[in-house]
Amino acid sequence: MDDGFSALAAGSAYAMFRHGQDQQTAQILRAMSEHGDDEEQAPAEPARVDVHVHLTEEDPDIPAINALDYISAEMPDSWDDFVGQEPLKKQLSVYMKSADIRDDRLPHTLLASGYPGVGKTMMARLLAKMMECNIIEMVPPFNVYTLADAARTLYRADILFIDEIHKLADNGKRGSEILLKLLEDHVIFLPTGEVVQLQDITVIGATTDRDKLPETILDRFKVKPFFQPYTEPDLAEIAIKFGARYDALDLISTETFVAIAYACRKVPRVTEEMVLAARDLAFALGRQATPQELLEFIEVEPDGLTRQHIQYLTSLRQYFPRLNHGTGEIEYIVGEGTIMQALRETLGGLIRLESFLIAEGLIDRTTRGRRLTDYGVRRAEEFIANGKGA
């Protein structure tokens, strides 16, 4: 990890320099003379977007409004403040420029990603800010009445952001029909018989499970940028930005920012959680916490595995050996329902755990169940030998 550590340390130094930490950054830059930047930039004030949402009294079983009222929503000031995702930003910039020249709205856009916390909501807010239009965000649970209330509050070229949009489309045939009409005709048909005609707005959807969207819905999104995995240098810079936001740069060492970049599971939202933990730990200790102290405090391994991940791996290794009659070898495999019971997890929680374990090559999902890979077996045995997990 020496080469990666050096690269990330340089990236961390550069990010601290941009946030005005002259003295600390200068020391790091002098030690790494091949890296540097002559410009100093103060953190920008957060932009503001004003949105007013009409509340409905219909359908009391679902909250009257689940379109969040962003009276003063924080968002990046420009593309430069949104770290990483260069292909996505370039693609969206072209569509924004074209819409501006043609005096038209943005096309319907699908921000797809395999995991939460990568910045889909922030990207939608940044688009609204740069297009100088209003935005309303909707979050599950969805309701046709709240969808109509939120959408008809917006005017031409405004943005309706629907988070976890697959949950609306997955709500039976009715949900798909509602979404299809909204995207295609700017119309919502209410169960009461009322037809809500909307302005020519832009719908931006975000999903962690694109496969649950029917093809007819996918076809209506003319722009489908995809969030790529963040690199460790990107994550180090993101962590530094969070450190600056929370006035914690003097409380967190460069080495700890590097450790956060490696342990955050490539999710910017997790870097924020870790930065806050490092800040609070520093206050409690009266000094900067070491990377090891931080990771032990939040119960995360250097490669991002959490206590729940370890519990999953060690449970599978200890309790579910099976003889593979085809090869004569022992493998560790279990069905979905059984591992949910063993971990006391919901299906949603299990999927979140498994997404990272699969990405790291620790487990496979097969037709026979969840199976530990050879690498997963080795890691599980390491944890068991160290008294961790099941």
Residues 175 and 139 in one domain: yes
| Cα 205 from Cα 96, distance rounded (Å) | 17
- Whether 61 is in a domain gets the answer no
Residues 137 and 246 in one domain: no
| Cα 118 from Cα 337, distance rounded (Å) | 29
| Cα 159 from Cα 176, distance rounded (Å) | 20
- Whether 62 is in a domain gets the answer no
Last residue of a domain, one of 270, 298, 326: 298
Residues 81 and 184 in one domain: yes
- Whether 102 is in a domain gets the answer yes
Instruction: Give the residue from 257, 202, 207 showing the smallest Cα distance to 235.
Output: 257
Instruction: Give the residue from 240, 232, 238 showing the smallest Cα distance to 21.
Output: 240
CATH code assigned at 354: 1.10.10.10
CATH code assigned at 235: 1.10.8.60
Instruction: Tokens for 199, please give them.
Output: 């302005």
| Cα 381 from Cα 217, distance rounded (Å) | 45
What is the residue type of 84?
G
Instruction: Tokens for 271, please give them.
Output: 């870097």
pLDDT per residue, tens digit, the chain (390 aa), is 555 555 555 555 444 544 444 444 444 444 444 433 444 444 333 333 333 333 333 443 433 333 444 434 566 677 877 888 888 888 888 888 898 898 888 888 888 876 777 888 888 888 888 888 888 888 777 777 877 887 778 888 888 898 888 877 655 567 778 888 888 888 888 878 888 888 888 888 888 877 788 888 888 888 888 888 888 998 999 999 999 999 999 999 999 999 999 999 988 889 999 999 999 999 999 999 999 999 999 999 999 999 999 999 999 999 999 887 777 789 999 988 888 888 888 887 888 889 889 989 999 988 888 999 999 999 999 999 999 987
- Whether 53 is in a domain gets the answer no
- Whether 45 is in a domain gets the answer no
| Cα 113 from Cα 108, distance rounded (Å) | 16
- Full domain range(s) for residue 126: 67-218
| pLDDT tens track for 26-70 | 444 444 444 334 444 443 333 333 333 333 334 434 333 334 444
| pLDDT tens track for 3-16 | 555 555 555 544 45
Residues 199 and 238 in one domain: no
Residues 74 and 211 in one domain: yes
- Whether 56 is in a domain gets the answer no
Instruction: Give the residue from 239, 237, 210 showing the smallest Cα distance to 224.
Output: 210
How many independent structural domains does the chain possess?
Answer: 3
Instruction: Give the residue from 270, 290, 272 showing the smallest Cα distance to 281.
Output: 290
Radius of gyration, CA atoms only, the chain: 24
What is the structure's pLDDT at 169? Answer: 67
Residues 278 and 135 in one domain: no
Residues 214 and 342 in one domain: no
What is the structure's pLDDT at 218? Answer: 87
Instruction: Round the average pLDDT of the chain to a whole number and report it.
Output: 79
